[in-house]
Amino acid sequence: MALIRRMSGADRSMTADLLASEGLGPDGDFYSADGIDVIVAHNNGRIMGVVEYDLTCDFGREQGRAGHLGEQAWIYSIAVAASERRGGLGRALPTEVAQRAQEAGRTFLALAPQDGAEVLGRRAFFQACRLTLIEPETPGAAWGCPIIDVMRRNIPEARPR
């Protein structure tokens, strides 16, 4: 089972490699997370998932997207190792961001797929996380939803013992 925590300096190279494998960033020693928050999912010293995010982003207004809410939690990139997909880890990462965002007083979570991302698979993933298009459908269009929706959808229900 993967544990989710803040990225440490020792995780930098593996995190960069995972992001680069998905076309989401530079690889190796050039990776810098300055100015953003990064959490990783790891198991036995292996990085299996990563999400880069900001809890105080005003992306909509900064980018001239007048229809966006004010400050919101914004996911810059998210990646899960191919061997770990379809097991719930991908949904656990934005859920963790949503929990942190809620603690910081944010009510909305948003993201925009990066150019390197495989579009159809990402679209299905975003929908599975309860995210919806929040602007006209064009390349790079933003997705988002109230944080409470992400948390309701992605927190596993208790199982009988």
Rounded to 5 degrees, φ, ψ at 36 are: -130, 165
pTM comes to 0.79
Q: Which residue positions in the chain have pLDDT lower than 70? A: 1, 25-34, 58-71, 114-121, 153-161
Position 100 scores a pLDDT of 92
Distance of CA 140 to the CA centre of its chain: 15
Position 123 scores a pLDDT of 77
**Three-state SS at 16:** helix
Position 158 scores a pLDDT of 35
Position 50 scores a pLDDT of 92
Position 63 scores a pLDDT of 57
Position 39 scores a pLDDT of 92
**Residues 1-42 pLDDT 10s:** 678 899 988 888 888 888 888 777 665 555 666 678 899 988
> Which residue, 142, 121, 154, is CA-closest to 64?
142
Position 116 scores a pLDDT of 47
Non-local (6+) Cβ contacts of 18 within 8 A are 47, 49, 50, 79, 81
